[in-house]
Amino acid sequence: MYLMLIGAPASGKGTQAKLLTEHFKIDHISTGDMLREAVTQRTELGQMIEDCLKHGRLVPDHHVMQLVEDRLAHDDITNGFILDGFPRTLSQAQAFDECLQQRGLSLDAALYIDVSDAVALQRVTGRRTDPLTKQVYHLTLNPPPPEILDRLVHREDDTEEVMRERLTTYHLEIAPVLEHYEHQNLGLKVNGSAKPDKIFEEILGRLESIPQKG
């Protein structure tokens, strides 16, 4: 299965990507995770990326494409992948079409998780990650066990102020990306305000109904 997950920040892409990865035994490729990893390397490029992340701006397309292409070149993706948070611009989507074509691959679906800005904002401000297990919690919607509270991390870009910037950027860029996949008959929209297991069920149902590749 070759899938991508498109949706606003905190729309639930990471949660669904994890479930899909386990279900289909495919690779999870999150550009947000790869960029956060690049920041830890303290290079000049890492510092530029950190600045983008801190302010809720998109990282320039060519850097993101480089990371994605490197990952596809080095990982075993013969079972498939789920791209999480990529593409975020039309030019990334177009460049990615070429990248797939060169490898003789084609997407099965571009899943779009639809949530309102209000829901995304509520989710993001309470979101906390366990650095040991990478498990993501929400302080009220999906509370962590009290004994691990102290070690949980609140992402620097998960504040209301930065989130408003991220949402503005998202809305500016995403419409042509969605259209791009609609034209290729790959777009599958799901309601992202339901509970994670319900969204997952809906996604699996929708994927079952897509025509199998020849």
Catalytic positions, written as ranges: 13, 88, 127, 155, 166
Residues 59-78 that bind ligand AMP (CB under 6 A): 59, 64
- Secondary element (H or E) of residue 187: strand 187-191
Q: Cis omega before residue 143 (within 30°)?
A: no
Is 48 a binding residue for ligand AMP by CB under 6 A? The answer is: no
Cα separation of 54 and 198, whole Å?
32
Cα separation of 58 and 14, whole Å?
18
CB of 147: closest distance to ligand AMP in angstroms? 26
Residues 75-104 that bind ligand AMP (CB under 6 A): 85-88, 92
Give the one residue of 56, 72, 96, 108 binding ligand AMP; rule: CB under 6 A: 56
3-state secondary structure at position 84 = strand
Give the one residue of 45, 58, 99, 207 binding ligand AMP; rule: CB under 6 A: 58
* 26 Cα distance to chain centroid: 15
Give the one residue of 1, 45, 48, 52 binding ligand AMP; rule: CB under 6 A: 52
Query: Which among 70, 158, 72 is positioned nearest to 121, based on CA atoms?
Result: 158
Give the one residue of 7, 12, 32, 192 binding ligand AMP; rule: CB under 6 A: 32
Rounded to 5 degrees, φ, ψ at 133 are: -105, -10
- Interface contacts to ligand AMP, rule CB under 6 A: 9, 31-32, 35, 52-53, 56-59, 64, 85-88, 92, 157, 166
